[in-house]
A and B are shown apart, each in its own frame.
Chain A
Amino acid sequence: MSTQRESARGLPQLLNIPGTRLLAAVLAAAVIAYLAWKIGQSPPQALQFAFNGLAVGAVYALLAIGFTLVYSTVWFFDLYYGAAAGLGAYGVFYLRTSPALGSRADVNSIYVNAVFAAIVAGVVAWTLHAVLYPRLRGRFSPNTIGVAIGLSAGAIGAYAGVVLSYPAIIHVMLSPAVGVVAALAAIAIPYWIIQSFSPTIRLSLVAAFAGLPAALIGAACGYLVSGAPGAGLYLSWAVSCLLAGCVGLALYRGLYVYMRQRARSPLIMLVASLGILLAIAAFIVIVFESAPRPLPDAFGSAPWKIGGARIKAFNVFGIGVAVAGFAVLWLLLKQTSFGRAIRAIGDDEEVSKVVGINTTVIIAAVFFIGAMYAALAGILTGHDTAVQPRMGLLLLLKGWIASVVGGIGNLYGAIVGGFVLGVVEQFGIWDLAGEWKDAIAFILLILFLSFWPQGLLPRR
């Protein structure tokens, strides 16, 4: 694998090989000719297919972005990723299901809540320990810190359990959390802005000035949310993304860390995550049964008509989410020290360790974020079609194909690959039946792996 990365050859070098060049040219010409012919045949339909392509492409792009983030940091394929998509979608189903959706409304189970509460508590405890312990070590005794961390983690875990237990009033249950997050954001955002002008500004100073307004903003947000039952759906998105992320982090910290110390090959990690995928898929069926389930409508279902194409608001929203997700990750990777640490680990983990990067924390965060992206993609798919236990497998494959098409390990490639895959799939089924779109994606994958293994945008 490393040699493959070292000898990364981009488009220019590849085009020097005569056979490949000819083939690529012929294929590209054929695709363009086909597209032109189809568009000429029926412009509104072409618009419709293009839009549909962008809509599914958004999901693939989200998957590929998270996938790329994880893969380019630890260099193994984490198949939990597929399970995370399923967990995200089923999380929303778990929190928002109702008899009106024609399914079991009594799905809420104390055992599931307890398991997730425990996972959240464990993850919070570890995170607090990893982040705070080195800073507090000098000031307090280890026992004090341990008890404090344990208590706060326990409290947050219990809170998560309670939130999960009363999904009907999730907006009330979560209003304090929303308030706290809003208040923190009200302090952090001015701090970042000021910091970019005068780097020496102290957080305590900003906090002193912004503290009171922030508290008020927080309280207002909390109050608003507690009075808005309609916010429940969006809160449940956040909750299930966070839960999927927590599971991803817990898997990394509880399992992959040990495995990576022993692993001789990336295949060990791959097989282990295959086992996790298998187990989580089975648990999903046990808890939710295997039939496909709908999710509640997110934005109303009446489509807009633009140029003869029917465009659903939710799909536009999905595209927006993908672009926003890309932008957030781009900011994170290119503008922060966290991003630099991630890239350093991706280049050489051992060296990063030596120069003082806390690789365990950084990689854990990467797994958390990656799983959140997957969960988000799962949620979008769930709203667009339906949730079913096997959706994660297909989404995993699509996310991977998108990242291969875009160029494995390249963030820009991921979003481009996602949209390209979506559009190609949709135009591909114009003359075929819709059920062949997976086959088209697979053919695209094989073509890329065989003739263009570095993808559209090779990694550096």
Chain B
Amino acid sequence: MPFGTQRIRELTGLVRDPAQLARHARSNIELWASLFIIGWAIAFMFWQGVGFAIIIGTVFAIWAILSVSLNLIVGYTGLLSVGHVGFFGIGAYTMAVLTSNPAYEQLRTEAIPTFGWPFFAVLPICAVLAGLAAVLVGVVFNRFRDDIFVLASFGFAIISFNVFLNLRPVTRGAFGIHEIARPQIGGWLFDGELEFLLLCLVFLALVMLVSWFIVSSSFGRVLTAIREDEQAIEVFGYKATHYKLAVWVISAMMAGIAGGLFASWTTFIDPNSFILLESVLMVSIVILGGLATIWGSLLGAMAFVLLEEGMRFIPYLPAEYIGQARQAALGIMLVLLMLFRPQGLVGRYRL
């Protein structure tokens, strides 16, 4: 909007009339939310020091990949999936099984086949396996809609956890898999936190680029139309099921990459990282940040990661309950968002 005299008059009028000012502030909630969260992130960096900020940054990057990819399904295509954690887990376990250190694993009673492949060779496999799983799941889920889809994906999340826990010949069950390899290019091992953060950010940028490429294409426009009225868009010559399946698989592959990064970063995974609640948290991030915006998902992931640090200010809250307190806060936030702002902080689309 041009900053002419009209605009100046508007602004001076705002200052005189508090009610209008409040209205104005509310209409700019997107800007304020962005500024607040970014400001918080910068303040956090100064407060906790760069070392810790790097760790938090890596966590953020992984969550951001997940939420950006989930937003393709939830925000753009309108399929409220709470099963994303399944694909995340498939990626993570692929990375774990294919790269973990053989010598260590064979010491244990629950021996699993190990390969010791390099990180960069396995990462594409993570994406492909997650994608294959998504094809299987997607073909079945394609016919479900709305609340049936939500609960079916809910079931998928629980079952994938079950598989990770009980498919012991592959996943070692509750013991988890140790000594997952860090990335290595030639002789340069990414063992430092900063290098890993940069790697994650590169992949985040890639995922965002791909997402942007998808949503700004004709394909992306069809997805939004499917979200609005699947039957109507079919009348205009689009096979909605194919589009849904395609975006579902792409999103799952991104989640698979996030899983691979996560496994390599922590170097140890067990099924407890892939419970249903993680998936619900992903959905909350997407909804909090805003449906059908890539920027919103970044913001949501950042707010989510920082929330945990914000929780440290709550008096009398023992440190071991901070994760739970964050979960509770997110749940309550979800309720409030549904009541007052169903499109999330910076979203365009209301559920």
- Residues from chain B with a CB closer than 8 A to the CB of A280 are 331
Output the nearest chain A residue to B155 by Cβ-Cβ distance. Answer: A442
Instruction: Assess A271 versus B287: contact at CB under 8 Å? Given A259-B339, A446-B140.
Output: yes
Instruction: Assess A286 versus B155: contact at CB under 8 Å? Given A255-B335, A258-B339, A446-B140.
Output: no
A278-B338 in contact (CB<8A): no
Give CA–CA (A279, B165) in the complex, Å: 25
Give CA–CA (A363, B96) in the complex, Å: 50
- Residues from chain A with a CB closer than 8 A to the CB of B342 are 264, 268
A267-B327 in contact (CB<8A): no
Output the nearest chain B residue to A76 by Cβ-Cβ distance. Answer: B147
A286-B146 in contact (CB<8A): no
The secondary structure that dominates the B interface is helix
- Residues from chain A with a CB closer than 8 A to the CB of B159 are 438-439, 442
B334-A272 in contact (CB<8A): yes
Give CA–CA (A460, B297) in the complex, Å: 44
Q: Which of B138-166 contact A (CB under 8 A)?
A: 140, 143-144, 146-148, 150-152, 154-156, 158-159, 162-163, 165-166
A271-B334 in contact (CB<8A): yes
Q: What is the CB-to-nearest-CB distance from A422 to chain B, in angstroms, rounded to a whole number?
A: 17
B351-A267 in contact (CB<8A): yes
Q: Does A436 contact B (CB under 8 A)?
A: yes
Stretch at the interface among B58-66, B123-131, B277-285, B300-308: B277-285
Instruction: Assess A275 versus B80: contact at CB under 8 Å? Given A282-B325, A446-B152, A449-B152.
Output: no
Instruction: Assess A438 versus B158: contact at CB under 8 Å? Given A268-B342, A275-B338, A282-B324.
Output: yes
B280-A286 in contact (CB<8A): no
B331-A282 in contact (CB<8A): yes
Instruction: Assess A278 versus B280: contact at CB under 8 Å? Given A76-B147, A442-B158.
Output: yes
A450-B143 in contact (CB<8A): yes
A393-B151 in contact (CB<8A): no
Q: Does A96 contact B (CB under 8 A)?
A: no
Give CA–CA (A449, B287) in the complex, Å: 27
Band of interface residues on A: 35 or more
A279-B332 in contact (CB<8A): yes
CB < 8 Å neighbour of B158 from A267, A277, A278, A397? A397
Q: Does A1 contact B (CB under 8 A)?
A: yes
CB < 8 Å neighbour of A278 from B152, B154, B284? B284
Q: Which of A387-402 contact B (CB under 8 A)?
A: 390, 393-394, 397, 400-401
B150-A279 in contact (CB<8A): no
A400-B328 in contact (CB<8A): no
Output the nearest chain B residue to A3 by Cβ-Cβ distance. Answer: B231
Q: Which of B239-292 contact A (CB under 8 A)?
A: 275-277, 280-281, 283-284, 287
Give CA–CA (A251, B3) in the complex, Å: 47
Q: Does B189 contact A (CB under 8 A)?
A: no
The secondary structure that dominates the A interface is helix
- Residues from chain A with a CB closer than 8 A to the CB of B325 are 282, 286
Give CA–CA (A269, B146) in the complex, Å: 12
- Residues from chain B with a CB closer than 8 A to the CB of A278 are 277, 280-281, 284, 327-328, 330-331, 334
A401-B140 in contact (CB<8A): no
CB < 8 Å neighbour of A445 from B152, B283, B332? B152
Output the nearest chain A residue to B151 by Cβ-Cβ distance. Answer: A400
Give CA–CA (A441, B152) in the complex, Å: 12
Q: Does A168 contact B (CB under 8 A)?
A: no
A279-B331 in contact (CB<8A): yes
Q: Does A285 contact B (CB under 8 A)?
A: yes
- Residues from chain B with a CB closer than 8 A to the CB of A266 are 146-147
CB pairs A–B below 8 angstroms (6 shown):
A255-B335, A266-B147, A270-B80, A270-B150, A393-B277, A400-B151
Q: A266-B146, A270-B150 are in contact. List 18 more A-B contacts (CB 8 A).
A: A1-B146, A77-B147, A259-B338, A270-B80, A272-B338, A275-B338, A277-B331, A278-B327, A278-B331, A279-B330, A279-B335, A390-B275, A435-B165, A435-B166, A438-B159, A442-B158, A446-B155, A449-B152
Shortest beta-carbon contacts, A-B, top 10: A275-B334, A279-B331, A278-B331, A282-B328, A282-B327, A272-B338, A275-B335, A275-B331, A282-B324, A435-B166
Residues of chain B at the chain A interface (Cβ within 8 Å): 80, 82, 140, 143-144, 146-148, 150-152, 154-156, 158-159, 162-163, 165-166, 275-277, 280-281, 283-284, 287, 321, 324-325, 327-328, 330-335, 338-339, 342, 350-351
Residues of chain A at the chain B interface (Cβ within 8 Å): 1, 76-77, 255, 258-259, 262, 264-272, 274-283, 285-286, 390, 393-394, 397, 400-401, 433, 435-436, 438-439, 442, 445-446, 449-450
